[in-house]
Structure 1
Amino acid sequence: MGSTRAKIAVDAMGGDHAPGEIINGAIRATEELDVDILLVGDPEQINPHLERFGSSTHAHLEVVPSEGVIEMTEEPMVGLKRKRKASINVAMDMVKTERAEAVVSAGHSGAGMAAALLRLGRLKGIERPAIGAIFPTQIPNKSVIILDVGAIVDCRAKHLEQFGLMGTVYSKYVLGNNDPKVGLLNIGEESSKGNEAAIRAYQLLEANAQIPFIGNAEGRDVLSGNFDVIVCDGFVGNVVLKFAEAVGEVLLDILKEELPQGLNGQLGTALLKPNLKRIKQRVDHAEHGGGLLLGVDGICIISHGSSQAPSVYNAIRLAKDAVDEQVITRLRSFMAGKMDIHSDSTVSSQPPQG
């Protein structure tokens, strides 16, 4: 599908390093991606950072004023209602009014999800949203999407089935897997393994003709590349997410420590630089930007609270990919039964002509 300049609303006030690192990542995105950025936040805090880049870099960036931010210590719903002009509320309203096509926020993830549900609503046919996180696999240039990684801690079997549907659409149209394979994260391969919810979810996933379900995925299968989509509840998914991030950081630290020292070592390191860069791109969570909140009627990227400029840039890239591939339009059609995932055809509700 052809690429167009997407309009992305970025919550400049959300995250541990806001607004400076958020602005740095947003400006890089305007320079390297076909995006217009609507930077939502306090102009008095944003403008001094922008001035360091000069006026020429602002052609595709606009500051949208907001008042306040939902703090990490606040209860999401209370904060959203008390601070109606908070940056995340204003950013979501921009998608609701079609002034922007997507939202990126590194702020309070619970507030981001609640604001999306309140402002945008759920997609028809989806009971609970899910945050989908992209993981590298041991197969080069192949990723797996895991959902949910934190939106819903306790999931019913029906929710896991719906996660399988949404993950299938995302994997096929954004990640480019023409024949995505869906698995259920469990403690064994057999259909009888796991708790009652897992056993029932297996049955629902297997019975749904629109989900290319191939069975249970154990923990060792997550990064194997044998699965393109893995579904689980948000409690388990969040543990997997944080563990994988830690492993990636440890691996990078080990590589730095084990590289040879001295002149010969420096020469060897220089030769290895391209390889090391590719390793970093595959295992560093900052390279993936965050997770797409699937199930709400709009494109929302929930980024890490610790996001710095590279992660913000990649989150914006992720949002643009979702816009370009019309993820929301495809999900609407899919949930309404107007699209067949196997044939990639749109099912017409009109009788054939002539």
Structure 2
Amino acid sequence: MKIAVDAMGGDNAPQTIIAGVERARDAFSDLEFLLYGDEQQIQAEIKDATRLTVVPTSEEILDTEEPVRAVRRKKDASMVVAARAVKEGQADAIFSAGSTGALLASGLFIIGRIKGIQRPGLMPTMPDFKTGGQFNILDIGANADSKPENLYQYAVLGNYYAKNMRQIEKPRIALLNNGTEPEKGDLVHKAAYQLLAGDPELNFIGNIEARELLNGVADVIVTDGFTGNAALKSIEGTAMAILSLLKRTIMNSGLKGKIGGALLKSDLGVMRDQFDYSRYGGAVLLGLKAPVVKTHGTASPEAVYYTIKQIRDMLAQHVVEDVVTYFSEHQLAKRPE
């Protein structure tokens, strides 16, 4: 299996990217990597070149650039050349910690959508604090505006991913809404509810509210990209605020508090790790002809490693190839009217 890596994407690239790639290379003997970017910078970070090939590029896409324009104009950008390698069959998947918008544009315009899928959705795996498990949520930002049919397709894609990647026989599918009643929400969500409830192949459990996201009520949560992105940012902000408040409370509570904090240090570390959803892998752009996976721009080498592990699992399970068959032959034929 060969993975194309945008080695220049991310706040601390290429250092953290190469460190994570080397860890994954050492852990999995069936992986090879094509590293795209500034050759001099990349070579300076490589400790062992086994199964690593550096492909020099002369440009990179910045987060401040308009994504579509940057992808079209910067033909020799590391992300663009890496995506082209996947399209041309030189690599099986692409990974980047760079601009989310540019990666979405590269995936759509270069790699391409699976036939029949209107809009791919961006999907991370998130922690479930009540049961200690995980859940998937999509879309979290690939599309700001969605139609009911898009939300239905996200459910189909998420259902298949949960079955094959997480081995859940009948994934519980829920629709993120402003109330649990079937008639809640705007016209888009009301119509989406009817589509989801009308498909017997989906284990649709109804609407859920945002306060239930981390409580293990569903395995796959469907939402539009605007709402999903806002929900994700709220979770991230709340997590950082809670951890900061705990630290400040301990430091301001005198000697007894500091002693207690020292005794709880390892437990607080576990709590911090539970909030870090990058440990479960990156966000997958579901609905494209090859795995396109994004991790956070501030990702550590550990997060890079887990994202690559996720990509390896997707390739080993033939997730994309099977989605093509599953979606075209079964779901489109049986899609509720």
- Does the TM-score normalized on the shorter chain lie above 0.5? yes
Distance 1:266 1:229, change over 3 A: closer
Residues 8/277 of structure 1: CA separation in 2 closer, same or farther (3 Å cut):
farther
Report the counterpart of residue 40 of structure 2 in structure 1. 44
Moved more, 29-38 or 255-264: 255-264
Structure 2: tracts of 5 or more residues without a match: 333-337
CA distance in 2 between counterparts of 1:114 and 1:233 reads 18
Query: Which 4+ stretches in 1 moved above 6 angstroms?
Result: none
Residue aligned with 1:230, SS: strand
| 2:142 counterpart SS class | coil
Which residue in the other structure is 2:212 paired with? 221
Post-superposition shift, 1:30? 1.3
Contact 1:13 1:107 in 2 (8 A): yes
Compared CA separation, residues 277 and 172, structure 1 to 2 (3 A): farther
Q: Which residues in structure 2 correspond to 1:312-327 (within 5 Å)?
A: 312-327=304-319
Deviation at 1:268, TM superposition (A): 2.4
1:307 partnered with 2:299: yes
**Partners of 1:179 and 1:216 in 2: CA distance:** 17
- Residue type at the aligned position of 2:12: H
**Counterpart residue number, 2:203:** 212
**Structure 1, unaligned runs of 5 or more:** 1-5, 341-354
CA distance 1:292–1:268, shift in 2 (3 Å): same
Closer/same/farther in 2, CA of residues 141 and 264 from structure 1, 3 Å limit: closer
1:20 aligns with 2:15: yes
Task: Describe the shift of the 1:149–1:232 C-alpha distance in structure 2 as closer, same or farther (beyond 3 A).
Answer: same
Q: Among residues 68, 80, 83, which one is paired with 2:71 in the alignment?
A: 80
Letter of the aligned partner of 2:75 in structure 1?
R
Distance (whole Å) between structure 1 residues aligned to residue 235 and residue 34 of structure 2: 32
Task: Provide the secondary structure at the position in 1 that maps to 2:102.
Answer: helix
With over 3 angstroms needed to count, the CA separation of the structure-2 counterparts of 1:254 and 1:39, relative to structure 1, is same
Q: Cα RMSD between the aligned structures?
A: 2.2
- State the shift of 1:254 in Å: 4.2
Per the normalisation by structure 1, the TM-score is 0.86
* Contact 1:72/1:108 (8 A) holds in 2: yes
- Name the amino acid aligned to 2:283: G
Q: CA deviation at 1:163?
A: 0.3
- Please state if 1:281 is matched with 2:253: no
327, 334, 337: which one pairs with 2:326? 334
Instruction: Tell me the amino acid that sits aligned with residue 184 of structure 1.
Output: L
Q: Which moved more, 1:112-121 or 1:309-318?
A: 309-318
Contact 1:333-1:339 at 8 Å conserved across structures: no
Please point out which of 138, 146, 163 is paired with 1:147.
138
- Partner residue of 2:232? 241
Query: Using the alignment, how far apart are the partners of 2:94 and 2:137 within structure 1?
Result: 20
Shift of 1:332: 0.8
Contact persistence 1:130–1:149 (CA under 8 A): yes
Tell me how far 1:7 sits from its aligned partner.
1.9
Secondary structure of the 2:329 match is: coil
The counterpart of 2:97, out of the listed 106, 121, 125, is 106
Match of 1:345 in 2: none
Match of 1:119 in 2: 110
State the Cα distance separating 1:264 from its structure 2 match.
Answer: 5.4
Counterpart Cα distance in 2 of 1:266 and 1:77: 48
2: CA distance, partners of 1:25 / 1:255: 30
What secondary structure sits across from 2:17 in the alignment?
Answer: helix
Aligned-partner Cα distance in 1 for 2:270–2:329: 40
CA contact (8 A) 1:183 1:213 kept: yes
2:147 is the alignment partner of 1:156: yes
2:327 and 2:278 mapped to 1: Cα distance? 32
Q: CA deviation at 1:250?
A: 3.0
1:336 match: secondary structure: helix
Residue pair 1:8, 1:36 contacting (<8 A) in 2 also:
yes
Partner Cα distance (2:16, 2:147) in 1:
38
Equivalent in the alignment of 1:344: none
Contact 2:125 2:277 in 1 (8 A): no
1:37-72 Cα distance to aligned partner (Å, 9 max, x none): 22111102211122xx2xxx3212221222201122
Q: Are the structure 2 counterparts of residues 305 and 267 from structure 1 closer, same or farther at C-alpha, using a change threshold of 3 Å?
A: closer
Separation in 2 of the partners of 1:38 and 1:304? 20
Tell me which moved more, 41-50 or 226-235: 41-50
Please report how far the alpha carbon of residue 109 of structure 1 lies from its aligned counterpart in structure 2 after TM superposition: 1.0
Matching residue's letter, 1:107: G
Deviations 1:230-253 (A, max 9, x none): 111111101111111222223333
- Provide the identity percentage: 36
- For the pair 1:232 / 2:235, whether they are aligned, the reply is no
**What residue is the counterpart of 1:63 in the other structure?**
54
8 Å Cα contact 2:3-2:91 kept in structure 1: yes
